Amino acid sequence: MEANIFSIQRTSFVDGPGVRTTVFFKGCNLHCLWCHNPESQLKAPQILYYSTRCTGCGACLEICPAIKTDRTVDQSKCVACGRCEAICVNNARELSGHAMSPQEVLAEIIPDRSYYKATGGGVTFSGGECMLYPDFLEEMLRLCQEEGINAAVDTAGHVPFAFFEKLLPYEPLFLYDLKAFDRQVHQRLTGVDNHLILKNYTRLHSACPGRLFVRIPIIPNWNDMELPALARWLRKYPPAQIELLAYHRFGISKSQAIQRVPFEAEEPTAQQMEDCQALFEGLPICVNGGSSYDSNSLRRNSS
């Protein structure tokens, strides 16, 4: 059993409680316009080309028929062998996606076990959409449980609920992404409507409300008008925590590296984030990985 993993980030503080190792799976069934990991959307490995790092030495042209004279990649010919990445001394080419077994992933997670224990952290499986690999993910949760490592699953929820049922016995924390409330708006922003996403959320809320965190990206003039409706709905199905994530522009260079026209929006100001936060008054809310609190009493709560 293998899955395509495009990154494993250690000592993360923004993907759940405590110090965490985040495992990013390749492949996603949403195509959010603002995606900050656009290389995660395609399930297969692919080569990224950062033209600003290239000095035009021509070494890659000599070994790869998929590289065009302008140094960009002809994706129809690329087999993602990684030879161009290996030969590039300027790190202008990067192979995104490597097949890994559950045991290989576990070997990357275990070294920081002492940090997890000291901070209440653990491992977070993310993406892309890690739930597209339900059998692999179930095995990872089993291995983590045997090793005494807390696990979180970061998901957009657009999968059959049977996939969640595979994982529930292992009691992971679910980091559940909500992008918009209106179906048509969600369709326009992500490529799919949110009927299944909201339905799965309510079922998870019934199954494990204390292990359900909601994450909402804030993209000014794109989805911020959806927040009042999301806040009203979440008051009916309150999660253990709500986190507002400010849009950032880090995905622009990655979009260019996979030869895609990048999405660009304004990053929210601190005042805009405060205004968004106020809409969720009375709910456990935090911004960009901060501590959660009840906005009525401002009493700090542990995550």
Q: Note down pLDDT in tens along the chain; length 303 residues.
A: 999 999 999 988 889 999 999 999 999 999 999 998 998 998 989 889 898 999 888 888 888 998 988 888 887 888 888 899 999 988 999 988 999 999 999 999 999 999 999 999 999 999 999 999 999 999 999 999 999 999 999 999 999 999 999 999 999 999 999 999 999 999 999 999 999 999 999 999 999 999 999 999 999 999 999 999 999 999 999 999 999 999 988 888 888 888 888 888 999 999 999 999 999 999 999 887 544 433 332 222 222
Residue type (1 letter), 208: C
So what's the pLDDT on residue 7? 94
So what's the pLDDT on residue 300? 27
Which one of 64, 96, 128 terminates a domain? 96
Do both 133 and 265 map to the same domain?
yes
Residue whose structure tokens are 């990224």 = 48
Do both 191 and 123 map to the same domain?
yes
- The domain total for the chain is 2
Which CATH number does the domain housing residue 66 bear? Answer: 3.30.70.20
Alpha helices in 237-269 (DSSP H): 251-257
Which one of 61, 79, 96 terminates a domain? 96
Do both 58 and 117 map to the same domain?
no
Which one of 32, 61, 96 terminates a domain? 96
Do both 80 and 219 map to the same domain?
no
So what's the pLDDT on residue 163? 98
d(CA 139, CA 145): 10
d(CA 178, CA 247): 14
So what's the pLDDT on residue 3? 95
Residue type (1 letter), 54: C
Alpha-carbon separation of residue 60 from 44, 77, 228, 265 (angstroms): 21, 14, 51, 34
Do both 217 and 181 map to the same domain?
yes
Do both 74 and 211 map to the same domain?
no
Length of the chain measured in residues: 303
So what's the pLDDT on residue 290? 47
Do both 103 and 77 map to the same domain?
no
So what's the pLDDT on residue 303? 28
Do both 263 and 274 map to the same domain?
yes
- Which long-range CB contacts under 8 A does 234-238 form with residues at least 24 apart? 234/280, 234/283, 235/282, 235/283, 237/201, 237/202, 237/205, 238/209, 238/283, 238/284
Do both 23 and 53 map to the same domain?
no
So what's the pLDDT on residue 293? 33
Domain containing 72 equals: 47-96
Do both 35 and 175 map to the same domain?
yes
Give which of 169, 181, 178 is closest to 144, Cα–Cα: 169
d(CA 35, CA 41): 9
Which CATH number does the domain housing residue 142 bear? Answer: 3.20.20.70
Do both 112 and 77 map to the same domain?
no
Do both 160 and 178 map to the same domain?
yes
